[in-house]
Amino acid sequence: MIGPAFTLASTGNVVQAGFNYSANKAIKDNTGKTTTEHLMSSIEEKKIKKNENKRINKIKKELIILVKSNLKKTREKIISLQDSNLLN
């Protein structure tokens, strides 16, 4: 209720104050949070998701490096076995 009262006092616009009140009430009714709480939790959720995506991308890169390394070692072993079979 402070927000709409501040809006009315600072702008003198009753319609804008009413809209502000209605918007705040709709957010509170739908989320159970105040407008500020809802905004802050949304920002926090985005930060968490961004960090998770960074972690996933790091794991993917490490996995690619590991697979390439293992493929290289396997190729070398196969070539070595083929060479030794040719010599025998």
The pLDDT tens digits of the residues spanning 38-77 come to: 999 999 999 999 999 999 999 999 999 999 999 999 999 9
**Single-letter amino acid, residue 81:** L
Tell whether the model's pLDDT for residue 88 goes beyond 70.
no
Return phi, psi of residue 13, to 5°: -100, 105
Residue 14: both structure tokens together: 């009753």
Q: Which strand (E) or helix (H) includes residue 37? A: helix 35-87
Q: How confident is the model at residue 24 (pLDDT cuts 50, 70, 90)?
A: confident
